[in-house]
A and B are shown apart, each in its own frame.
Chain A
């Protein structure tokens, strides 16, 4: 009998610690499938963030480095500059990448570091129990914006893809979502392209993935998927911002 579905080799046979309905696990699987399909596990180095995925270095079968909060792009820069033949990816949440690590991601992109950043935007600080993130939507209730995010108090959500696509060094920028099958397939294509861009030595590549946090959003898993569709996507439009036609 032919095997049609199995665990990707790049992912260890462990159960993950994420909450029910959390889409971090899906993103892990997509990365691992891409690593398998490209046959790059042996030379890939992943950089884990600080956030709910702080220990995802335990889940992948490639070499992994755990970075301080927000510093993954700098750590990735160091790894890549030592061994340019390695393929380096960072895995970062929205607090990690768009708040404390803003300088590091902007300048890794500015320098055109040949690394791939997987940016998981769930509009909240998941790990530290639901505080407002830079990507928290207007009027969204969080533990530190208990009356909703208000422009005069909190300012406005940051659109990372739009921001980074202004930089010459960022050659591939795409926003995807993992709230349904069709979008999951699209997300995988984008992740694959972002790795291929690196393999071709083109420059910095980032894929922003809209993701759920049912626990801190206070929603059932199914409702959380719907919230991505109804609330997040209208504000964070999906699609390619840069590099769609780059040959790899």
Chain B
């Protein structure tokens, strides 16, 4: 590892993207992620890169579509209402199999909601907010260090599979100052871009980037190809942290910033003789189903703690498959659960 700096989460995302070789950023301002745009506006000229403030999130995601078609590593970032506007473009990018990275620093909804931290876009991200049978890789960091590492990985994953990769965080993570240690050199995995529309130079047949297949047989084949790719990603790219899970009374499952709170709860509970384990999905899609299957009969119960009305808990239930009860505790509207609240819930379940 190399340089160690104290930096704001959002700025780390931007810096990580630059280090991963991203020279194209298109976005539209929205709190709580605008620092990404500020950073890019300042730094892109230094690397001969491009920063464009688009007229809307709709335009920004379509600029991403064009830039990705032209073979570039490209980033856009936004927060919930803006991500909703990007859904049309995300579906097209998925259909056309273009690589790109999208950051969603989630805020509370529905509607304009509020700017405080939330995890209420889990469904939108992992079940597909746009139309059609598509998936995107969704990575949920829980520290600024992880924001950096996962952002770099996101570009490699996007290129490798020609897929949309989303970094999903919240305002706590985006606004938080934390130490981050940068590598001296990033591993930028080279990807085949012979399909990109860069001009034929009269040396090859023309390339076409499209998501439309009018012939039903061809469209079904195209969909089958996408599904096969998603299966491969499930096998290769699932990421999870399993913490303190040897003979726990209960396993809490949480992602992103909530997992940090849970780790503190684990310490407090230990003093009271309660053993809590944590399964923290790092990739929300692909979901670490196998890890849950492995631990399904280990604790007395599972508890999913989320900043929403109960979204990831559905995937936990599917994975645990009735072998143990799966409970839920959530706060909404930008409210954050205290350690005591979570511990009280644990005691109530174990009673």
Interface residues, chain A, with chain B CB atoms under 8 Å away: 41-45, 47-48, 54-55, 57-58, 60-68, 71, 74-83, 85-86, 103-104, 106-107, 110-111
The 7 lowest CB-CB distance pairs between A and B, nearest first, are A78-B66, A74-B62, A78-B67, A66-B210, A63-B197, A82-B70, A75-B66
Interface residues, chain B, with chain A CB atoms under 8 Å away: 24, 26, 50, 52, 54-56, 58-60, 62-72, 74, 88-89, 92, 96, 197-203, 206-212, 214
Which of B92, B199, B214 contacts A45 (CB under 8 A)?
B199
Cβ contact within 8 Å between B62 and A43: no
How many CB-defined contacts (below 8 Å) exist between A and B?
Answer: 140
Known contacts A77-B52, A86-B199; decide if A104 and B62 are in contact (CB<8 Å). yes
Which of B56, B66, B88, B200 contacts A62 (CB under 8 A)?
B200
Contact partners of A67 in chain B: CB under 8 A: 62, 65-66, 92
Cβ contact within 8 Å between A78 and B68: yes
Cβ contact within 8 Å between B212 and A55: yes
Cβ contact within 8 Å between B69 and A79: yes
CA distance A10 to B45 in the complex (A): 36
Which of B74, B96, B212, B214 contacts A78 (CB under 8 A)?
B74
Which of B58, B68, B69 contacts A71 (CB under 8 A)?
B58
Q: 28 interchain pairs (CB within 8 A)? A: A42-B200, A43-B199, A45-B197, A62-B200, A63-B208, A64-B206, A67-B66, A68-B88, A68-B92, A71-B65, A74-B54, A74-B63, A75-B69, A76-B66, A78-B62, A78-B63, A78-B64, A78-B65, A80-B66, A81-B24, A81-B63, A81-B67, A83-B70, A85-B199, A86-B199, A103-B59, A107-B59, A111-B52
CA distance A75 to B62 in the complex (A): 5
Q: B105 → chain A, closest Cβ, in Å?
A: 22
Which of A43, A58, A104 contacts B59 (CB under 8 A)?
A104
Q: A199 → chain B, closest Cβ, in Å?
A: 13
Contact partners of A80 in chain B: CB under 8 A: 66
Select the residue from A66, A68, A80, A82 with max chain B CB neighbours within 10 A: A82
Which of B55, B67, B92 contacts A79 (CB under 8 A)?
B67
Contact partners of B52 in chain A: CB under 8 A: 77, 81, 111
Which of A42, A45, A81 contacts B203 (CB under 8 A)?
A42
Select the residue from B62, B65, B208, B210 with max chain A CB neighbours within 10 A: B62
Which of A42, A74, A81 contacts B199 (CB under 8 A)?
A42
Contact partners of B74 in chain A: CB under 8 A: 78, 82
CA distance A54 to B88 in the complex (A): 17
Contact partners of A45 in chain B: CB under 8 A: 70, 197-199
